Amino acid sequence: MTYDEHRNFSPQFRQGADAGEKVGAARAIEELKETLQEQFDAYPVSVFPEPDLERVSKILAEHGIALDCVSASAIRAALKVTARIVNSVVST
């Protein structure tokens, strides 16, 4: 569509398209929130308790491993999954 064609669209038609786009975006956001909540709920603290990070850090350090490296690896893995979820919702 050329600039002139776009500019000459009736405002009512454009508002209708904007409203439809907003509804679609709102649905996508809701789907995204639900999917991310499901992922979060899959790892409850009652099953996977929070570790004593000071103790874990000491144990890892004894073996030449930094807790920061383990944490960064876990975050990267979680963000890969999050990105896949976001991309699947955004691309639909």
Asked whether residue 86 is assigned to any structural domain, the reply reads yes
Domain that holds residue 78: 8-90
Residue 63 is predicted with a pLDDT of: 98
Residue ranges in the chain whose pLDDT is less than 70: 1-20, 92
Tokens 């999917």 correspond to what residue?
Answer: 35
Asked whether residue 60 is assigned to any structural domain, the reply reads yes
- Nearest alpha-carbon partner for 86 in 46, 45, 49, 35: 35
Asked whether residue 1 is assigned to any structural domain, the reply reads no
Contacts of 85 (CB under 8 A, 6+ apart): 32, 35, 36, 39
User: Tokens in use for 40?
Assistant: 């979060």
Could you tell me the pTM of the whole model?
A: 0.63
- pLDDT tens for residues 18-33? 666 777 788 888 888 9
Number of domains in the chain: 1
Asked whether residue 38 is assigned to any structural domain, the reply reads yes
Residue 2 is predicted with a pLDDT of: 46
Asked whether residue 3 is assigned to any structural domain, the reply reads no
